[in-house]
Amino acid sequence: MHAVVLVGGFGTRLRPLTNDVPKPMLPIGNRPMIVRLAERLAAGGVTDIVLALGFRPDTFRAAFPGDRVGDVRMHYAVEPEPLDTAGAIAFAARHAGIDSTFVVANGDVVTGLDIAELVDAHRTLGTDATIHLTPVDDPSAYGVVETTEGGIVARFIEKPAPGDTDSRLINGGTYVFEPGVLDLIKPGQRVSVERETFPALVADQRLAGYPTNDRWIDTGRPDTYLEANLDHADTPDAIHPGANVAENARIERSIIGDGARIDGEVTRSVILSGASVAAGARVTDSLVWGHVTAGATLDHCVIGQDAEVPAGNHQHLRLPEPA
């Protein structure tokens, strides 16, 4: 079974971390996000992954020697121009010659969803497409999905006001498509799967929804990217064996990357590969890919690759308190 993985975005909300690195190549718990996704797809029966690429495709090719992740074969479909979500899915599927049921996944979503269960549900429901649905506490910032008792998607409600709907289910970013869905997407044109393809399927009752309560995080913002990493803060891989941690350094519930140097205090933060925190520096609730000098205090900050943080207090409000 094939999977098309959307990895063509620019990751603008995660800048400066994504200035030179595509978002799905950023690490989650010291392993690239795209590798974790590939392994989850493989566990669900996927044998071939087609990366729908736009931004820095060579970074992905270089990351997978032999074009494989474990037993999964990797393929690359580089868009000649941005085609939006449905356009990218169709371009990648046609590029790979997909002619049977396939999975679609957003490359920046971290979830515990069982792919095999989603595929089984799709086949049981018997529709042309099935989307994973996940509940959120406050649906007003999302496009909410309503379904019938039989699991068919009835309608989408964009950013509902109180009283507009009883549903708290949103699009979880993982789908199962039959190849016939591609007929709705004209080749070479910008087409949105959310705004055009799904509504067309809903109109003909050809779209189903599969809700689960699995852990689900859209890592597209600094706070949610931090949250996804901190889920791994208590694992053996939280501090990379290639990190250099001084005896008097203090690390609490954090991720420390390969080649990072820690001499100061790090709390609920991600220190990426090659970054450093000097003695006398303190980092809290932050993402750091640069160098924090002695006497600097970071609180809710995002520091890009190779940037140097001078002494003093630094706080950036763009990174809310992690959940």
* pLDDT tens series, the chain, 323 aa: 999 999 876 667 778 877 778 888 899 999 999 999 999 999 999 999 999 987 667 788 888 888 888 889 999 999 888 889 999 999 999 999 999 999 999 988 999 999 999 999 999 999 999 999 999 888 777 778 888 988 999 988 887 777 777 788 988 999 999 999 999 999 988 999 999 999 999 999 999 999 999 998 888 889 899 999 999 999 988 999 999 999 999 999 999 999 999 999 999 999 999 999 999 999 999 999 999 999 899 999 999 888 888 887 776 644 444 44
In a domain, 155, yes or no: yes
Together in a domain, 198 and 297: no
- What's the pLDDT score for residue 315? 67
Selection from 118, 101, 127 nearest residue 172 by Cα: 118
Do strands 276-277 and 261-262 pair parallel, antiparallel, or not at all (unpaired)? Answer: parallel
Which of the listed residues 182, 217, 252 is the one where a domain comes to its end? 217
Full domain range(s) for residue 230: 224-315
Catalytic residue of the set 31, 155, 159, 318: 159
- What's the pLDDT score for residue 153? 93
> How many independent structural domains does the chain possess?
2
C-alpha 296/C-alpha 279 separation (Å) is: 10
CATH of the domain at 118: 3.90.550.10
- What's the pLDDT score for residue 25? 87
Long-range CB pairs of 68-71 (<8 Å, 24+ gap) are 69/35, 69/38, 69/39, 69/42, 70/38, 70/39, 70/42, 71/42, 71/47
Together in a domain, 130 and 184: yes
Together in a domain, 210 and 269: no
Together in a domain, 100 and 195: yes
Together in a domain, 148 and 236: no
Together in a domain, 136 and 210: yes
Catalytic status, residue 159: yes
- What's the pLDDT score for residue 320? 44
Together in a domain, 25 and 50: yes
Together in a domain, 286 and 240: yes
Together in a domain, 22 and 127: yes
* pTM score: 0.88
- What's the pLDDT score for residue 55? 63
Cβ-based neighbours of 73, under 8 Å, separated by 6 or more: 47, 48, 49, 67
In a domain, 31, yes or no: yes
